[in-house]
């Protein structure tokens, strides 16, 4: 199957998680001003987009091969990809909105809301990546 795109996307996602914002972004006065939650949330938005995009492209490019190998599995993978196509913008948008609210009003309630949105997004990323791996 066409794994080059998937491998490249996963490498890019790992890079974004580790390096996109620079080493000093968590230092006092830096972009995130010592707030690891904001850093992690924004890194998750970038990497989730990369993983979701790679997954739906992988599913589309390999649809025929998946169907030949196992029709039931192919249907399951297509259903998951269709779910991502329909809901990824909402999941990513929820994290972005929660980030913006937390930046404006860094209360404990807004922190919990951001953490909940982030957890939901991360669950969907793990599901999508799991299909690519298997």
How is residue 29 annotated by DSSP? T
| CB-count exposure of residue 88 (10 Å: 0-12, 13-18, 19+) | buried
pLDDT bracket for residue 132 (50, 70, 90): confident
Flag whether pLDDT at 5 surpasses 80.
Answer: no
How is residue 32 annotated by DSSP? S
What digits encode the pLDDT tens for the residues 68-127? 999 999 999 999 999 999 999 999 999 999 999 999 999 999 999 999 999 999 999 999
Non-local (6+) Cβ contacts of 38 within 8 A are 32, 99, 102, 103
What digits encode the pLDDT tens for the residues 44-76? 999 999 999 999 999 999 999 999 999 999 999
Non-local (6+) Cβ contacts of 47 within 8 A are 13, 14, 16, 17, 125
């Amino acid at each position: 199957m066409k794994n080059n795109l998937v491998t490249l996307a996963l490498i890019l996602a790992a890079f974004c998680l580790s390096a996109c914002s620079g080493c000093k972004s968590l230092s006092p006065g830096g972009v995130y001003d010592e707030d690891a939650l904001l850093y992690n949330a924004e890194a998750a938005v970038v990497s989730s987009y990369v993983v979701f995009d790679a997954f739906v492209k992988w599913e589309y490019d390999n649809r025929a091969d998946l169907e030949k190998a196992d029709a039931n599995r192919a249907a399951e993978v297509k259903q998951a990809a269709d779910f991502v196509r329909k809901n990824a913008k909402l999941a990513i948008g929820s994290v972005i909105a929660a980030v913006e609210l937390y930046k404006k009003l860094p209360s404990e309630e807004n922190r919990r809301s951001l953490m909940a949105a982030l957890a939901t997004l991360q669950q969907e990323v793990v599901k999508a990546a799991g299909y690519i791996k298997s």
